[in-house]
Homo-oligomer: A and B are copies of this chain.
Amino acid sequence: MRVLLVGAGGVGTAITRIAARRPFFEHFVAADHQLARAEAAVAATGDARFHAARVDAADQGAVTALLAEHRCDVLLNATDPRFVLPLFGAALAGGATYLDMAMSLSHPHPERPYQECGVKLGDAQFERAGEWERAGLPALCGIGVEPGLSDVFARYAADELFDEIEEIGVRDGADLTVDGYEFAPSFSIWTTIEECLNPPVLYDRDRGWYTTAPFSEPEVFDFPEGIGPVECVNVEHEEVLLVPRWVDARRVSFKYGLGQEFIDVLRTLHKLGLDRTDPVTVGSSAGPAAVSPRDVVAACLPDPAGLGDRMHGKTCAGTWVRGTKDGAPREVYLYHVVDNDWSMREYGSQAVVWQTAINPVIALELLAAGTWSGAGVLGPEAFPPVPFLDLVGAYGPPWQLREGG
C-alpha cells in the first residue's frame, strides 16, 4: 500500500507516528500546505518509508498529480472539513481509495432550520456514490474516533449484542484540563464551532432525519474510568447520518459533553457573528484584507495539538445502545478511554488527537490486508467490526463494554 496523507496538523502528525510502528505499507507521503509541518512530521518518524510534500488541499488537480507522482493507491484526508470535496474528488480522479474523518458540510434548512434538514453532512459525498461503485473503489468516510470507532461500536452492537435496537446514542465526554490557559479547547475550534452551532441532527425510524436547536436536550451522562457525570447536549455529527444507513435502530443521536463554560463561549461567538466563515474586511499591514472571523478565533487560541504537555485527564468516546437480546431488555455503553499522560509518554500526542488518529491507520491496515473491502461511499459500519476492534487493543488502550448503559 502507498498512502498520500493530506494534512500534517495535529491529527495528521499523530497518524504518521502511529503508522510508523506498523508494517502494512511501503510508501507514505505526508503533504501539507506548510511544507515545514509535513517535513517535521516525517522527520519525527525516522522511517525511510515516509516522504514530505507541499500541496494545497483545495487544488484538486494538484492533489491528483501528487497521487500519480508517488503512485499512491490511497488518499487519507486529515484536513478540516472545508477540504473534503476537493480531496474526495482528487482520490476518485486519481483512482485511489479515499478515507476521511469528517464528511462534507451541511447547510441548514432555509426556512425551518431547527425542525428540518437542509443539505445534510455527507450529502455531497453520497450523491457521488455511483461513481465510486463504478470505479470499484471504496470511499471510507468518517473513520476517526467520532465518527469512526463510534460507528464500528454501533455495528458491533447490532451484530453481536442485540436482536433489536431501540436507540443508539454516541456520547463523548472528558475531564481534560490545560495548565496555564484560561480557555484552551482540546480539539479544533473551527470544527467544534461548525458541529456545535449547526442545527443538531437526529434520526427516528418513522420521521427520518430531522433537526433541533443547538445545545438541545441536555442530559447528564456518567462517563467511565473516573471521568464521572458530564452534561451532554445534542450536536450535529456524522454518526447520526451514517449509522442508520447500515444499522437498524429506532433512534440515533449524538451528544457531546461540552460543559456550561464551553456552551457559553460558543453562544457568545455566535451572538457576535464571530462563528461566521464568510469574510469581513479589516485593515492589515498590507491594506484591506478579507478574512474569515472563525479563522481569526482559531488563530487567537493555542493550537490544541501543541497542548499535550500542559494537559491532564482522560477523554472518552463511546456508543450507548439500548434494545433487547433474547427477549430481555439490554443496555450497554461501548467505549474507549485515553489518558493524556499515557498518549504523551507513548506517542508524544495529546489524548484527543491520538484517539482520533489511530482509527484511520487501523482502517488502512484492514484495507491493505483485504479484511475490509468494498466499493462506493461507505461508513465504518459498512464493514465487519470485530477485526477492527481487535486491532484497537494492539495499538494502545483496549476498548471496553459497560453492561447497563
Report chain B residues within 8 Å CB of A384: none
Contact A280:B264 (CB < 8 A) given known A289-B291, A291-B289, A291-B291 = no
CB A291 to nearest CB in B, in angstroms, measures 5
Contact of A272 among B273, B276, B285, B300 (CB under 8 A): B300
**A396 within 8 Å of B by Cβ?**
no
Report chain B residues within 8 Å CB of A274: 274, 296-297, 300
Report chain B residues within 8 Å CB of A296: 274, 280, 282, 291, 293, 296
**A301 within 8 Å of B by Cβ?**
yes
Q: Is the CB of A289 within 8 A of B286?
A: yes
Report chain B residues within 8 Å CB of A281: 299
Contact of A264 among B268, B282, B289, B290 (CB under 8 A): B268
A289 to chain B: closest residue by CB: B289
For this chain, the copies found in one complex come to 2
**A183 within 8 Å of B by Cβ?**
yes
Which residues of A from 293 to 318 have beta carbons under 8 Å from B?
A: 293, 295-301
Most buried by B among A264, A279, A291, A296: A296
A182 to chain B: closest residue by CB: B271
The 4 closest A-B pairs by CB, nearest first: A289-B289, A273-B300, A280-B299, A268-B268
- What are some 30 contacts across the A-B interface (CB < 8 A)? A183-B271, A265-B268, A265-B271, A265-B272, A268-B268, A268-B269, A269-B272, A272-B300, A272-B301, A273-B301, A274-B296, A274-B297, A274-B300, A276-B300, A279-B284, A280-B300, A281-B299, A282-B291, A282-B292, A282-B295, A282-B299, A283-B291, A283-B295, A284-B289, A284-B290, A284-B291, A285-B290, A286-B286, A286-B290, A293-B296
Given contacts A268-B269, A274-B274, 18 further A-B contacts (CB under 8 A): A183-B271, A264-B268, A265-B271, A265-B272, A268-B268, A269-B272, A272-B297, A273-B300, A274-B297, A276-B300, A280-B299, A281-B299, A282-B298, A284-B290, A286-B290, A289-B291, A291-B296, A293-B299
